Amino acid sequence: MPVKKGMKSLAQNRKARHEYFIEDTYECGLVLVGTEVKSIRAGKVNLKDAYARVTDGEAYVHNMHISPYEQGNIFNQDPFRKRKLLLHRREINKLNALSQAQGYSLIPLQLYLKDGRVKLELAVAKGKKLYDKRHSIAERDVKRDVERSVKQIYDRRQE
């Protein structure tokens, strides 16, 4: 079977960019079972409450829900099982040091296909306070208003 080139987004954690300041991102592979891959390709994955941890020198993603594949019968795995992340040793050591620093978390941002393989975009993030979230919302509203005004001016000139 030919491998498709390029990237195709399968799932995103939109809430993460609202809840956290993103410091750095990493691309990593996942150790998956065949039925999980089929279910992910069908879009049956949820990153909403997922997080990653480094334990015993290995990186794992927890709470990532992959729905059981309908035709998978006995080969289906637990939807919430922890899944190993494929990273270089120096990256794992760096992530471990950063995650142990106060206030930093490892949060999955996006799950996508790259050249036929499932990849996860992992972020080193720091939690936002309530006033930071309000500030982000205010900035977004101002940006939207400016774009709306520019569009109205442009539309008037076209008439």
Residue pLDDT, tens place only, 81-131: 888 899 999 999 988 888 887 778 899 999 998 888 889 999 988 887 777
Residues 63 and 39 reside in one and the same domain: yes
Residues 98 and 117 reside in one and the same domain: yes
Residues 89 and 134 reside in one and the same domain: no
Residues 145 and 78 reside in one and the same domain: no
**Residue 74 pLDDT more than 80?**
no
**What's the pLDDT score for residue 24?**
87
SS3 track for the chain: CCCCCCEEEEEECHHHHHHEEEEEEEEEEECCCHHHHHHHHCCCEECCCCEEEEECCEEEEECCEECCCCCCHHHCCCCCCCEEEECCHHHHHHHHHHHHCCCEEEEEEEEEEECCEEEEEEEEEEECCHHHHHHHHHHHHHHHHHHHHHHHHHHHHHC
**Residue 33 pLDDT more than 90?**
no
Residues 70 and 93 reside in one and the same domain: yes
Band (62; pLDDT cuts 50, 70, 90)? very high
Residues 102 and 154 reside in one and the same domain: no
**Residue 13 pLDDT more than 80?**
yes
Residues 85 and 13 reside in one and the same domain: yes
Residues 102 and 141 reside in one and the same domain: no
How many domains in the chain? Answer: 2
Is residue 102 in a domain? yes
Residues 92 and 156 reside in one and the same domain: no
Residues 144 and 66 reside in one and the same domain: no
